[in-house]
């Protein structure tokens, strides 16, 4: 169920990640679930350099900070423009609207988008604490899109991208674990020694809300691409 591929480094992981994308694409995938963060960058580089055409395709992003406009340099919207959409435009690209202060309305709107555009391939990174999307430890796995209070460790990890910690958003909108598990195929990538404990818990540990990524064990088509450092605690 979990197909684990161990690579030397992120560059090689990007090539493998691209192969997963390409296979899905050739097999008729139309809706691609996308993530931000450092992890998918090498895969997006391979995509932008490829001849794959996404101009008839749809993308649906996992999450966005509450309070950041799409053109804010630290918004996930902006990240996607820089790393993928400017070079490879999609027909429709959906990202949660960080400026919608009506959380209930935004949750409903985004769940409808996902229902109307069932995700064929969802790409994920992995938090050091086992989070996927912004589903932090303890999150109810039955939730769809929801508003999340970011944990102190995630705020700290993200603060390197802001001038000071006070500017780091405290809330995000995120797809839920249940939304993610509806995707036909899931591709999770993780690189570096700081992900090793989360990788082990995700693959070899019990399915538990303490490790949101462990719910991927319940999905029947998951590809995991990790480098040797991230794989180092696997038995």
Per CB under 6 A, 213 contacts ligand F6R: no
Distance, in Å, from the CA atom of 137 to the CA atom of 133, rounded to the nearest integer, reads 11
Nearer to ligand F6R, 62 or 177 (CB): 62
Catalytic site includes residue 63: yes
Which range touches ligand F6R (CB under 6 A), out of 15-23, 126-134, 163-171, 226-234? 126-134
Q: Which member of 7, 18, 36, 110 binds ligand F6R (CB under 6 A)?
A: 36
Q: Which member of 7, 35, 199, 213 binds ligand F6R (CB under 6 A)?
A: 35
Catalytic site includes residue 77: no
Between β-strands 92-94 and 185-190, what pairing exists: parallel, antiparallel or unpaired? unpaired
In sequence order, the 6+-apart residues with CB closer than 8 A to the CB of 154 are 127, 129, 131, 134, 136
Per CB under 6 A, 146 contacts ligand F6R: no
Q: Which member of 31, 107, 114, 132 binds ligand F6R (CB under 6 A)?
A: 132
Which residue among 61, 77, 83, 129 is the active-site one? 129
Catalytic site includes residue 166: no
Nearer to ligand F6R, 58 or 61 (CB): 61
Nearer to ligand F6R, 27 or 170 (CB): 170
Which residue among 97, 106, 111, 136 is the active-site one? 136
Per CB under 6 A, 125 contacts ligand F6R: yes
What is the nearest approach in angstroms of ligand F6R to the Cβ of residue 63?
Answer: 5
Q: Which residues bind ligand F6R (CB under 6 A)?
A: 35-39, 62-63, 76, 125-127, 131-134
The catalytic site residues sit at 63, 129, 131, 136
């Amino acid at each position: 169920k979990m197909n684990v591929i161990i690579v030397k480094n992120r560059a090689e992981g990007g090539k493998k990640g691209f192969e997963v994308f390409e296979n899905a694409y050739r097999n008729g995938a139309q809706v691609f679930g996308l993530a931000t963060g450092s992890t998918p960058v090498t895969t997006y580089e391979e995509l932008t350099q490829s001849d794959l055409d996404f101009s008839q395709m749809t993308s649906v992003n996992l999450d966005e900070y509450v309070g950041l406009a799409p053109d804010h340099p630290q918004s996930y919207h902006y990240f996607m423009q820089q790393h993928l959409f400017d070079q490879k435009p999609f027909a429709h690209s959906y990202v949660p609207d960080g400026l919608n202060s009506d959380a209930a309305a935004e949750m409903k709107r985004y769940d409808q988008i996902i229902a109307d555009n069932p995700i064929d391939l969802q790409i994920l990174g992995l938090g050091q604490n086992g989070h996927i999307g912004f589903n932090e430890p303890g999150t109810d796995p039955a939730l769809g899109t929801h508003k999340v209070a970011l944990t102190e460790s995630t705020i700290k990890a993200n603060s390197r991208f802001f001038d000071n910690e006070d500017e780091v958003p405290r809330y995000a909108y995120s797809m839920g674990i249940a939304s993610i598990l509806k995707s036909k195929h899931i591709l999770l990538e993780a690189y570096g020694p700081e992900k090793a404990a989360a990788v082990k818990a995700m693959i070899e540990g019990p399915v538990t809300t303490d490790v949101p990524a462990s719910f991927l064990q319940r999905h029947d088509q998951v590809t995991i691409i990790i480098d040797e450092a991230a794989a180092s605690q696997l038995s």
